[in-house]
Chain A
Amino acid sequence: MRIPTLLLAAVAVSQMGATDCGNALRDPGFDLWCGDQMCAWKVEKGHVQKVATWNAGDPGVELVDSDVAIEQVSPVDSGDGSCLEFDLIADVDDNAQVALNLDVYDDGSIEHTETIPTSSWAPLTFKLPIQGVYRGMRFELTKKGSGHAVLAQIGAKITTGCDAFTPIVPAPAPLGAPCDAAIGCSTGTCEQTFFGGFCVGCTDGSCAANEVCGPSDPTSPLRELPRLCEPTGSRELGEQCLHDSECGTGICNFGYPQPTLEPGGEYGNCSACRAGDACGCDPAWAGGDLHGPFVCAAGTHAGAAGSACGDNADCASGTCNGTPRLQCDNDGRECATAADCPFDGLQNTPCSTVGIQGGSCE
């Protein structure tokens, strides 16, 4: 198979420090509010509201309903450390049951639940060690019951001194997660590269005759694109690919000039032509070192009706029909919001509309 070396380089870089001075959570004090919603935390269910804590200018979050859950995905990984120290300040009465759930890899499996005791703004500190290699974690705070529960602070910081505590043993790594050996992967396959291994669902030649082992749709900003057997020719013009056979056009173009030097640059895009073709084959969009599908006479308003396009400027009619393409600025993966994109520090990189996917000129 073709090895996405630069992608793995990005993995390696992220493992050198995915925290903010050791802090694994963004806005641990619930200080950032976008209107009546938290900016850095996502409400999974229930209703929350902004309330004052020790000072009206230092807000916390009140978990209002009887079944509430908020979460934040963090890029913290084993490169940062394997001992997490939590500092928590809350005002929780007897009729509220508040818990902190840890979901290593953000794969939906809760590895550890820590019950937050009843307290009235008394600081609570505890440590949790994590065993082995991991990449990323989802922190979930839940409340059940009708009681009053206000969270003022939930800091998670990489530290030391966890030897005395029983470590959290992550479930086998999901697709796209880093691994040391096949046994560590839920798929049973750990693809080794120069920078380390990551769990894949297939390898070149392992798929059926009408399938090809290529990047599938992203599942978590923490992990690489899942490598799965995909039907041959199932990718539209503009989607990411590794092999020509993944694309409906039969062409997976790796860029111009190639290769690029950015993470994700090792993925190509399903294109209508190859760079250097006599038709004036150029990418239909470009953002930094990322690019879109290569089409003939890109951007010259020369495309006839029905010809491949990635942007309205590719068509003589000025209209390129297709699906708007939203992708992460960081690595070009498809996204709906920034929350789907890989992290830069503790923040997700932007998700931007770049052009048209599967387009044809009107």
Chain B
Amino acid sequence: MRFLTLAAFVLVSFGAAAHAEPAVATYAIVVGSNTGGPGQTDLRYAEDDARRVAAVLTELGGYTADTVDVVVHPTPDQLRERLAKLAERVQADVAAGRQARVFFYYSGHARAQAIDLGATELPLAELRERLFKVPAALTVVVLDACQSGAFSRIKGAQPAADFSYSSRQHLDATGVAVLASSSGSELSQESEQLKSSYFTHHFLVGLRGAGDANNDGQVSIDEAYRYAYHQTLLATAETAVGGQHVTFEADLKGHGEVPLSYPRAATAQIVLPARLEGKTLVEDRRAHAVVAETYKAKGAAVRIAVAPGDYDILVRDGDSLSRCPVTAPGEIDLDRCRHEALVADVAKGGAAWADPHRYMMVLDLVVGPEHHDAYTQNLSAFGYNEDLAPAGGFALTGLRQVLDKIWLGGTAGLSSIPSWKHDVVGTDNLHQQLDWSVATAMVTLRAEDAWPVEWLSGYAQLSGGLGIGHSALAGADGMTYSSTNLGPAFAAGLGVHAHFRHAGFSAGYEYAGAYAVKDLIGNTHAAGGNRLVLGFSWGF
């Protein structure tokens, strides 16, 4: 499973008018920048998100193509130039007696006091200043900003809170409201499954109609916020980074609802019938892209505005999965839905509802020939012979996903080592026998990635910790001489892991050693050796 983080900032300011009217000019600047600044990993979906936002604004928001300015991977100067042009156009409208509505969207990296546009920055203070200089009656600003992320392109939450808070203080005087994708102490995230940021994805799904709570055919900024809040939180609650709370602060004194989209006016809609219930995913059949994802409650129909075309609606209710074909505009005919088998959780791509497992328990059975070293050579010299049975045991590993493809946890194991037996020459069946075993407690680091199909992964695992060796020699005098020693232990292995929903099976190779069996003449046995590993896993 793979989790990317993202921080989104939504800043909304309102002027005098709240409704899109013919007399109101609409403008949008939609900015996306995947490129990270120094020390930042490039994002994957920021620029795509910007394009999607632009498409929804054009399709459902009342904007026309010539008034939506999509700016991909700009430099600060380029962005300044676009903002300056926007200000000029709005100034002209105001001079002409028309009110103007402005929508600004940004998705990309950010630091505490600036957004990162590749190698250079644009200070947030300057961005605020330039935005508020635009004399629009209504200004909507969405910042999808991220801070430095080590491995998984983490975007910083700190700038979100910083920006949001200071912005609000600054905008209060002009009636500005703030909407942020996450709280001040949280990280925001990208999703490889959605191929988008969580927040932007759900924000847009809400605009497509899923957020139309009062079913009035338009999605207000309040509705969009509530929808994005719940869906983003649900989607991120079980990720490695943790739940992401969208925040919204708006100063709408004297103003009514502020519609952001008009899904009912769209050229095509998919109607989710009233009796449909479950987690619903709208997939563009031709593009194989997820257009919308929502939880459809029973009792009221829901309209999702989409482009005309063929779609598959996947509905999961508990353990039941149905696939319903539909052509937009149109309503799902539930009688045409067919049941499908649930597939395993996917590492990336695939069904967006394949919940990523944050924890995994693995019970391994290990078997293999015991390692030979100076200790066992000494046993041979003393006339002992090793049993033919291989060494074997089990290991229980608990893992938590800490990074994309990386799991960290602990392993407790117990292995029995083949006995060594020495017949006392010249006696009737009198012998000495060494029985021994080793228990281990180790920290385990595991890297796992889907290959070559989604339900099959390859993994490599490394463990290190302590081993407790126990030996018991049954002497020729009938007494048993036991000893217990402590020593370092390690294990390194690789294999394949097939997983189906929660359960999985694995097979692999491992080399293990626990320097925990010692004799009285200075030899230490590294209990272990080459091992075949067969495992059963459970993810949750």
Interface positions of A (Cβ within 8 A of B): 20-21, 23, 25-29, 31-33, 40, 52-59, 87, 89, 91, 120-121, 123, 152-153, 155, 345-347
**Do the beta carbons of A20 and B426 come within 8 Å of each other?**
yes
Cβ contact of B521, chosen from A23, A53, A87, cutoff 8 A? A53
Q: List 19 A-B contacts (CB under 8 A).
A: A23-B425, A23-B426, A26-B426, A29-B382, A29-B424, A31-B424, A33-B477, A40-B426, A53-B521, A54-B379, A54-B382, A54-B523, A55-B471, A55-B483, A55-B519, A57-B477, A121-B522, A153-B382, A345-B426
Nearest to A157 among chain B residues (CB) is B425
**Do the beta carbons of B426 and A87 come within 8 Å of each other?**
no
How far, in angstroms, from A47 to B479 measured CA to CA in the complex? 25
Which B483-531 residues have a C-beta within 8 angstroms of A?
A: 483, 519-523
Interface size class of B (residues with CB under 8 A): 20 to 34
How far, in angstroms, from A215 to B441 measured CA to CA in the complex? 73
How far, in angstroms, from A29 to B422 measured CA to CA in the complex? 10
Measured between C-beta atoms, what is the minimum distance from B535 to chain A in Å? 35
Cβ contact of B480, chosen from A33, A57, A58, A346, cutoff 8 A? A57
Nearest to A60 among chain B residues (CB) is B382
How far, in angstroms, from A346 to B519 measured CA to CA in the complex? 31
How far, in angstroms, from A293 to B486 measured CA to CA in the complex? 69
Known: A27-B427, A31-B475, A58-B422. 11 other contacts (CB 8 A): A54-B520, A54-B521, A55-B434, A56-B481, A57-B473, A57-B477, A57-B479, A58-B473, A121-B378, A153-B382, A345-B426
Nearest to A50 among chain B residues (CB) is B477
Nearest to A74 among chain B residues (CB) is B426
Query: With a CB–CB cut-off of 8 A, which chain B residues contact A123?
Result: 381
Measured between C-beta atoms, what is the minimum distance from B101 to chain A in Å? 88
Nearest to A343 among chain B residues (CB) is B426
Beyond A31-B424, A155-B383, whether A58 also contacts B475 by CB under 8 A is yes
Query: With a CB–CB cut-off of 8 A, which chain B residues contact A27?
Result: 424-427
Chain B 423-460 near chain A by CB (<8 Å), digits 1 or 0? 01111001010100000000000000000000000000
Nearest to A152 among chain B residues (CB) is B382
Nearest to B383 among chain A residues (CB) is A29
**Do the beta carbons of B432 and A20 come within 8 Å of each other?**
no
Cβ contact of B476, chosen from A25, A32, A87, A120, cutoff 8 A? A32
Beyond A31-B432, A347-B426, whether A87 also contacts B381 by CB under 8 A is yes
Interface positions of B (Cβ within 8 A of A): 378-379, 381-383, 422, 424-427, 430, 432, 434, 471, 473-477, 479-481, 483, 519-523
Query: With a CB–CB cut-off of 8 A, which chain B residues contact A53?
Result: 382, 520-521
Query: With a CB–CB cut-off of 8 A, which chain A residues contact B434?
Result: 55
Question: A21, A27, A52, A54 — which one has the most chain B CB atoms within 10 A of its CB?
Answer: A54
Cβ contact of B383, chosen from A28, A40, A91, A347, cutoff 8 A? A28
Nearest to B473 among chain A residues (CB) is A57
How far, in angstroms, from A27 to B521 measured CA to CA in the complex? 21
**Do the beta carbons of A25 and B475 come within 8 Å of each other?**
no
Query: With a CB–CB cut-off of 8 A, which chain B residues contact A56?
Result: 473, 481, 483, 520
Query: With a CB–CB cut-off of 8 A, which chain B residues contact A52?
Result: 520
How far, in angstroms, from A362 to B475 measured CA to CA in the complex? 52
How far, in angstroms, from A56 to B477 measured CA to CA in the complex? 11
**Do the beta carbons of A54 and B378 come within 8 Å of each other?**
yes
**Do the beta carbons of B521 and A25 come within 8 Å of each other?**
no
**Do the beta carbons of B382 and A32 come within 8 Å of each other?**
no
- Shortest 10 CB-CB distances between A and B: which pairs? A26-B426, A57-B481, A57-B475, A346-B426, A57-B473, A123-B381, A31-B476, A54-B519, A23-B425, A56-B481
How far, in angstroms, from A138 to B110 measured CA to CA in the complex? 92
Measured between C-beta atoms, what is the minimum distance from A136 to chain B in Å? 15
Measured between C-beta atoms, what is the minimum distance from A321 to chain B in Å? 40
Query: With a CB–CB cut-off of 8 A, which chain B residues contact A121?
Result: 378, 521-522
How far, in angstroms, from A29 to B384 measured CA to CA in the complex? 11
Measured between C-beta atoms, what is the minimum distance from A118 to chain B in Å? 15
Measured between C-beta atoms, what is the minimum distance from B421 to chain A in Å? 12
Measured between C-beta atoms, what is the minimum distance from B475 to chain A in Å? 4
How far, in angstroms, from A20 to B519 measured CA to CA in the complex? 29
**Do the beta carbons of B381 and A153 come within 8 Å of each other?**
yes
Nearest to A33 among chain B residues (CB) is B477
**Do the beta carbons of B520 and A55 come within 8 Å of each other?**
yes
How far, in angstroms, from A33 to B479 measured CA to CA in the complex? 13
Query: With a CB–CB cut-off of 8 A, which chain A residues contact B475?
Result: 31, 57-59
Measured between C-beta atoms, what is the minimum distance from B386 to chain A in Å? 15
Question: B424, B425, B476, B521 — which one has the most chain A CB atoms within 10 A of its CB?
Answer: B425
How far, in angstroms, from A332 to B483 measured CA to CA in the complex? 49
Nearest to B431 among chain A residues (CB) is A31
How far, in angstroms, from A152 to B379 measured CA to CA in the complex? 12
How far, in angstroms, from A33 to B427 measured CA to CA in the complex? 13
Measured between C-beta atoms, what is the minimum distance from B231 to chain A in Å? 66
Query: With a CB–CB cut-off of 8 A, which chain B residues contact A346?
Result: 425-426
Measured between C-beta atoms, what is the minimum distance from B51 to chain A in Å? 74
Query: With a CB–CB cut-off of 8 A, which chain B residues contact A57?
Result: 432, 473-475, 477, 479-481
Query: With a CB–CB cut-off of 8 A, which chain B residues contact A54?
Result: 378-379, 382, 519-521, 523
How far, in angstroms, from A334 to B379 measured CA to CA in the complex? 42
Query: With a CB–CB cut-off of 8 A, which chain B residues contact A152?
Result: 382
Measured between C-beta atoms, what is the minimum distance from A343 to chain B in Å? 10
Query: With a CB–CB cut-off of 8 A, which chain B residues contact A32?
Result: 424, 427, 430, 476
How far, in angstroms, from A153 to B523 measured CA to CA in the complex? 17
Measured between C-beta atoms, what is the minimum distance from A114 to chain B in Å? 18
Query: With a CB–CB cut-off of 8 A, which chain A residues contact B424?
Result: 27, 29, 31-32
Measured between C-beta atoms, what is the minimum distance from A349 to chain B in Å? 13
How far, in angstroms, from A56 to B481 measured CA to CA in the complex? 7
How far, in angstroms, from A56 to B474 measured CA to CA in the complex? 10
Measured between C-beta atoms, what is the minimum distance from B394 to chain A in Å? 27
How far, in angstroms, from A346 to B336 measured CA to CA in the complex? 89
Query: With a CB–CB cut-off of 8 A, which chain A residues contact B471?
Result: 55
Query: With a CB–CB cut-off of 8 A, which chain B residues contact A31?
Result: 424, 432, 475-477
Measured between C-beta atoms, what is the minimum distance from A151 to chain B in Å? 12
How far, in angstroms, from A31 to B424 measured CA to CA in the complex? 7
How far, in angstroms, from A25 to B477 measured CA to CA in the complex? 19
Nearest to B479 among chain A residues (CB) is A57
Nearest to B380 among chain A residues (CB) is A123
Query: With a CB–CB cut-off of 8 A, which chain B residues contact A347?
Result: 426
Nearest to B428 among chain A residues (CB) is A347
Query: With a CB–CB cut-off of 8 A, which chain A residues contact B523?
Result: 54
How far, in angstroms, from A226 to B471 measured CA to CA in the complex? 53
Query: With a CB–CB cut-off of 8 A, which chain B residues contact A91?
Result: 521
Query: With a CB–CB cut-off of 8 A, which chain A residues contact B473?
Result: 55-58
How far, in angstroms, from A52 to B473 measured CA to CA in the complex? 12
How far, in angstroms, from A55 to B473 measured CA to CA in the complex? 8
**Do the beta carbons of B381 and A89 come within 8 Å of each other?**
yes
Question: B424, B480, B523 — which one has the most chain A CB atoms within 10 A of its CB?
Answer: B424
How far, in angstroms, from A207 to B36 measured CA to CA in the complex? 119
How far, in angstroms, from A335 to B383 measured CA to CA in the complex? 34
Question: A32, A87, A120 — which one has the most chain B CB atoms within 10 A of its CB?
Answer: A32
Measured between C-beta atoms, what is the minimum distance from B6 to chain A in Å? 62
Query: With a CB–CB cut-off of 8 A, which chain B residues contact A25?
Result: 425-426
